Amino acid sequence: MTTIGAPVSTGTEKAAGGWITADGRTIGEIMMEMRNITLRFGGVTAIEDISFDIRKGEIRAIIGPNGAGKSSMLNVISGFYVPQEGEILFHGAQRPPMRPYEVARQGIARTFQNIALFKGMSTLDNIMTGRMTLMRTGMASQALWWGKAQAEESAHREAVEKIIDFLEIQTIRKTPVGRLPYGLQKRVELGRALAAEPKLLLLDEPMAGMNVEEKEDMSRFILDVNDEFGTTIALIEHDMGVVMDLSDRVVVMDYGKKIGDGTPDEVRNNKEVIDAYLGVAHD
Amino acid sequence: MATENPPRGELCSIPALLERNARRHGASPAYREKEFGIWQEWTWIAAAEEIRAMALGFLALGLERGDYLAVIGRNRPMHYWAMVAAQMCGAIPVPLYQDANAEEMAFVLEHCGARFVVCGDQEQVDKVIEVQEHVHCIEQVMYTDKRGMRKYDHTHLNWLHDVQAEGRAAHQRLETELDARIAELGYDHICVMLYTSGTTGKPKGVVLSNRNIIETARHSSEFDHLTHTDDVLAYLPMAWVGDFIFSIGQAYWTGFCVNCPESPDTMMTDLREIGPTYYFAPPRIFETQLTSVMIRMEDAGKLKKRLFDHYMALARRVGPEILDGRPVSGMDRLRYMLGDILIYGPLKNTLGFSRVRVGYTAGEAIGPEIFDFYRSLGINLKQLYGQTEASVFITQQPDGEVRSDTVGVPSPGVEVKIGENGEVYYRSPGTFVEYYKNPESTAETKDPEGWVATGDAGFFEEGTGHLRIIDRAKDVGKMADGSLFAPKYIENKLKFYPDILEAVVFGAGREMCTAFINIDLSAVGNWAERNNIAYASYQELSQHPRVIETIQAHVEEVNRSVAEDAMLSGCQVHRFLVLHKELDADDGELTRTRKVRRKIIEQKYADLIVALYDGSKTIHTETEVTYEDGRKGRIAATLDIRDAAVSTPRHSRMAAE
């Protein structure tokens, strides 16, 4: 009997600087490294002396109970917060304090916990705004739709249409996003982040407030983005089931400190992590 | 016609027609598909080149004469091309329903022994991989959509574009062979094999020859004067005979353009953008469209609403007359023209029917209000009656003789007769060759003289010569008191209410009729929203007292109208219940073409039927359901059973007096 087309499974092998996962993806060298990051807001320490790295091609999750400092961590990566201590290395070079748009130009895109779309604009236009950092022609020629701006817009539109196709949202192409259900708005937001053709994609609770079916869809899209475009993904998520299924490695935070780091299995058996999640009293 | 066409002998296969179209209509569009938000177009010359490349690719992969090539996917040019390319190689295309689950798919693939399978996307490839545990005939799998396929073992798996590229590269080596195979094709070669959805038992493979398809396409195209400038939207399942006749048979015979939607969900938008001139839809689609128009009008402003109501009343009065060319007063004509500018035109445009010259509906009875609505707008909607075994056409309505309660006169070239038991028989050039590997069923259905039993009971109307269908012949039965029992007749009357999606009537051999009702979630849900009725699930909504009251009113209204009919007045529904789940093809309760499977429903809900007849007020029940991914679950519910008022038939009242 010939079995046709079954997915190839190579098992976990350590490769130089990285490894190949059970489902055949290559995890490469270190893309971003956090060294001893500390972030304070006045007297409150949101993040205390945290170090971890994100490798090229992996799905890296940051988990932890409420108030653990996950979103702050993501905001540090995206350049929204500047940590008081510690350094961030991007592609091996130290990253100076940057404004968010400068970080975006480096190839880092993100979605937000509370959807931050332009409610009155269509899905298509919202995703188009994600291409902002890639547009080269000036405002005047764009407004007049003259010269290079024409060709440029066509090229961007093509890229956006590919994303619409990829996320299967053709039906809502022209619908104002304010009228869309929550799950679809989340998908449009992912689309806008993808439009920037990021090397590193930051997802802040992509499944929050979704029902099981929407979660399954979103998980599928996250895996597909990672697989098809080779995008490195760092995500924050509450749903443990989702995190354990999706991610290659997990950082666990609690009260601003890192209490665990490793593969989902390692993390799941880590005593400190279990305590944090089952609610052992802190002294 | 005769002077324009070359001798018919040359045009006796779909590939031959393709070659002619490339010659005669070369620059006119053959296929369009919306992709990445833009309509991509292929002319007949371009399509012929693509198909030829694919056929060469199939040869390179070893497709042999007489092989079966299964196609599983949504309507896309690539999939139509794969079918024609298979024919070029002397193989037989077998389109499958893409929503078939792995088990149903396994049966068909094994039954026809498909060596080659063309899949639309990863989902279908996964299903094929799954069925390979039991089905070992498959040697090559191809797919159209590359997404998610990168990590699969490609030893026997190919992207269709790669197959074409390989075909193009190997054209010098394989062209002679391909041309020889195309030249062999004749009228008696098999054109396609289509599996009937089978209201009873396993699906049967209906073998249709080139003669069946091409003769039918020729007759029906001439009947409606179709030309190469027409446009159709291909959105109905490719495994359904209608799609094969419209999108391949008639399209290749006349050379018109087949338009494929971007995705199944965008069908309505795409319909509007294309504005087909020739359109086919089952009653369900017309019903959904009408429902959505009415719901939106409910929410419209006062002025708009009044304009709409005023002009729709006018349209109902004079619209059908104007369409049929019957005399209408000059004033009404003028008013209708104004209405066309203000209401009908924009409405038709919204619905995508601005350009429709010929529209057909079939498969089920269509509600008279729905039918009249479209006709009053000036859309030439007609009915036809047909089945897979007849290559669709048995009867159809000629222009100017259209009514909602008949299915028309015999199509050109078709002979129809009514058997002693009332069953409809037909004989035509489109009559199928046989059921594949099933001589018993073939012999049961088709007699040696070529007459085929339709399984439907009907009669010819006196005066007009139009055929009227009452019900499935085997479902027409007798009630305990000997009166006629025709469940479908009652069910259709019930289903004409927008609130009711599906109805199943019982009563053969019993004292009285009873019914299961399925509510229509979109219509009832909208009603609930407007009336501030909260509900958490389909089940809860279906059992809401006010919903049941509404349904009861509908049932009683149907009873009154049934009572008028002397023959069928015994079929009034005495008791009914509203089902807690939607009848579904995944649970085997409906066929893939959404026809009720009576036997299965009777077995599955035996407890409910008992309760309908033993006088109980409520019944607790548990039902197994299958989710789309094949997992099974159970839902429990307590259902209300209601008594519905029945009317005394007028004729028996008269007898009593």
A2–B139 CB contact, under 8 Å = yes
- Tokens found for residue B339: 């209405």
Task: Say if residues B183 and B164 touch (Cβ distance below 8 Å).
Answer: no
Whether the pLDDT of residue A47 is over 80: the answer is yes
Band of residue A267 on the pLDDT scale cut at 50, 70, 90: confident
pLDDT at A68: 85
Equal CATH topology for A1-107+198-278 and A116-197: yes
Task: Say if residues B96 and B195 touch (Cβ distance below 8 Å).
Answer: yes
**d(C-alpha B143, C-alpha B122), whole Å:** 8
Whether the pLDDT of residue B343 is over 50: the answer is yes
pLDDT at A14: 44
Mean pLDDT of chain B: 89
* Among candidate residues B334, B382, B325, the one with its CA nearest the CA of residue B357: B382
Residues in chain A within 8 Å Cβ distance of B266: 170-171
Whether the pLDDT of residue A16 is over 80: the answer is no
pLDDT at A15: 43
Delineate the domains of chain B, giving CATH numbers in brackets.
13-260 (3.40.50.980), 283-472 (3.40.50.12780), 477-656 (3.30.300.30)
Query: B630 vs B465, which has greater pLDDT?
Result: B465
Residues in chain A within 8 Å Cβ distance of B159: none
Query: A65 vs B356, which has greater pLDDT?
Result: B356
**d(C-alpha B408, C-alpha B361), whole Å:** 12
pLDDT in tens, B115-146: 999 999 999 999 999 998 889 999 999 999 98
Task: Say if residues B569 and B563 touch (Cβ distance below 8 Å).
Answer: yes
pLDDT in tens, B480-508: 887 778 888 888 888 878 889 899 999 88
Q: What is the CA radius of gyration of chain A?
A: 20
| Closest residue, chain A, to B134 (C-alpha) | A1
Q: At what angle do helices B330-339 and B302-324 cross, to 10 degrees?
A: 130
> What phi, psi does B193 have (nearest 5°)?
-120, 125
pLDDT at B649: 65
A5–B152 CB contact, under 8 Å = yes
- Shortest Cα distance from B353 to chain A (angstroms)? 20
Residues in chain B within 8 Å Cβ distance of A157: 37
Residue to mutate among B116, B124, B132, B142, with most A CBs inside 10 A, is: B132
- Shortest Cα distance from A4 to chain B (angstroms)? 5
Q: How many CB atoms lie within 10 A of CB A6?
A: 13
* Among candidate residues B430, B424, B421, the one with its CA nearest the CA of residue B467: B424
Mean pLDDT within B57-80: 96
**d(C-alpha A170, C-alpha A35), whole Å:** 43
* Among candidate residues B391, B361, B384, B363, the one with its CA nearest the CA of residue B194: B391
Whether the pLDDT of residue A23 is over 90: the answer is no
pLDDT in tens, B86-119: 999 999 999 999 888 888 899 999 999 999 999 9
pLDDT in tens, A117-151: 999 999 999 999 998 888 877 777 777 777 778 88
pLDDT in tens, A205-241: 998 888 888 888 999 999 999 988 889 999 998 878 8
| Closest residue, chain A, to B143 (C-alpha) | A5
- Shortest Cα distance from A82 to chain B (angstroms)? 38
**d(C-alpha B607, C-alpha A3), whole Å:** 44
> Considering only the top CATH level, what class is A1-107+198-278?
alpha beta
pLDDT at A50: 92
Q: What is the CA radius of gyration of chain B?
A: 26
Given A1, A5, A161, which is nearest B129 (Cβ)? A5
Band of residue B655 on the pLDDT scale cut at 50, 70, 90: very low
**d(C-alpha B499, C-alpha B192), whole Å:** 39
pLDDT at A200: 93
pLDDT in tens, B199-208: 556 889 999 9
pLDDT at B656: 41
Residues in chain A within 8 Å Cβ distance of B537: none
Mean pLDDT within B387-413: 90
pLDDT at B585: 83
pLDDT at B651: 54
**d(C-alpha B71, C-alpha B33), whole Å:** 18
% residues pLDDT > 70 (chain B): 96
A2–B156 CB contact, under 8 Å = yes
**d(C-alpha A170, C-alpha B37), whole Å:** 8
Start-to-end CA span in chain A (Å): 63
- How many A×B Cβ pairs under 8 Å? 68
Domain ranges of chain A: 1-107+198-278, 116-197
Mean pLDDT within A167-180: 92
- Shortest Cα distance from B232 to chain A (angstroms)? 21
A23–B128 CB contact, under 8 Å = no
Given A1, A3, A161, which is nearest B36 (Cβ)? A161
Given A2, A23, A158, which is nearest B151 (Cβ)? A23
B153–A158 CB contact, under 8 Å = no
* Among candidate residues A238, A227, A177, the one with its CA nearest the CA of residue A201: A227
pLDDT in tens, B298-317: 888 899 999 999 999 999 88
Whether the pLDDT of residue B173 is over 80: the answer is yes
* Among candidate residues A6, A74, A26, A20, the one with its CA nearest the CA of residue A46: A74
B140–A4 CB contact, under 8 Å = yes
- Tokens found for residue B616: 């109980």
Band of residue A8 on the pLDDT scale cut at 50, 70, 90: low
At a CB cut-off of 8 Å and minimum separation 6, what does A76 contact?
Answer: A34, A37, A39, A47, A82, A83, A88
% residues pLDDT > 90 (chain B): 56
- Shortest Cα distance from B38 to chain A (angstroms)? 9
Whether the pLDDT of residue B415 is over 90: the answer is yes
Concatenating the DSSP letter of every residue in A83-118 gives -SEEEEEETTEEPPP--HHHHHHTTEEEE-SS----
Give strand pairing partners of B638.
B620
A interface residues, B as partner, C-beta within 8 Å:
1-8, 23-24, 157-158, 161-162, 164-166, 168, 170-171, 173, 224, 227-228
Distance of CA B390 to the CA centre of its chain: 15
A162–B141 CB contact, under 8 Å = no
Whether the pLDDT of residue B230 is over 70: the answer is yes
| Closest residue, chain B, to A226 (C-alpha) | B148
Using the Cα atoms of residue B645, residue B649, residue B654 and residue B656 in order, give the sign of their dihedral: negative
C-alpha to C-alpha distances, B387 to B204, B443, B455, nearest whole angstrom: 13, 17, 10
Dihedral angle, C-alpha A229, A233, A237, A240, nearest 10 °: 80
* Superfamily of chain region A116-197: P-loop containing nucleotide triphosphate hydrolases (3.40.50.300)
Given A5, A157, A170, which is nearest B263 (Cβ)? A170
B23 membership: H or E segment, kind and range: helix B14-24
B139–A165 CB contact, under 8 Å = no
pLDDT at B2: 36
B151–A24 CB contact, under 8 Å = yes
B interface residues, A as partner, C-beta within 8 Å:
35-38, 125, 128-129, 132, 136, 138-141, 147-148, 150-157, 262-263, 265-266, 269
pLDDT at B396: 93
pLDDT at A164: 94
Residues in chain B within 8 Å Cβ distance of A24: 151
Q: Identity (one letter) of the amino acid at B459?
A: F
Dihedral angle, C-alpha A234, A236, A242, A247, nearest 10 °: 30
Give strand pairing partners of A265.
none
**d(C-alpha A57, C-alpha A238), whole Å:** 22
Residue to mutate among B35, B40, B147, with most A CBs inside 10 A, is: B147
